[in-house]
């Protein structure tokens, strides 16, 4: 059971890598950074699917545009100023 848990942990680390945050340590900045990393990972998956011919360029654009709108809304809700 422990080996399976180790495998799943390593798989999650591989599929969803996280980088440490070195900016100003404000709760809203750290939260936004986590969302930004998730956005980046999802865009990477979408680009890979489009490059591999699994989705059309139009679908890829629409999905990335939707993710961008979500990220902008998150930034606004966290009250992060430029």
Question: In whole angstroms, what is the distance from residue 41 CA to residue 48 CA?
Answer: 11
Tokens of 14: 């591989």
Q: Where are the domains of the chain?
A: 2-77
Question: In whole angstroms, what is the distance from residue 43 CA to residue 51 CA?
Answer: 12
pLDDT digits (tens, 9 = 90+) for 25-72: 899 999 999 999 999 999 999 999 999 999 999 999 999 999 999 999
Specify the pTM.
Answer: 0.76
- 28 three-state secondary structure: helix
Which residues are CB-neighbours of 8 under 8 A, at least 6 positions away? none
Mutual orientation of helices 27-51 and 57-77 as an angle, nearest 10°? 180
């Amino acid at each position: 059971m422990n080996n399976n848990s180790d495998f799943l942990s390593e798989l999650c680390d591989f599929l969803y890598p996280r980088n440490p945050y070195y900016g100003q340590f404000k709760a809203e900045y750290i939260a936004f950074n986590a969302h930004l990393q998730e956005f980046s990972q999802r865009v990477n998956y979408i680009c890979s699917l489009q490059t591999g011919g699994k989705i059309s360029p139009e679908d890829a654009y629409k999905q990335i545009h939707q993710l961008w709108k979500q990220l902008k809304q998150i930034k606004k809700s966290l009250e992060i100023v430029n």
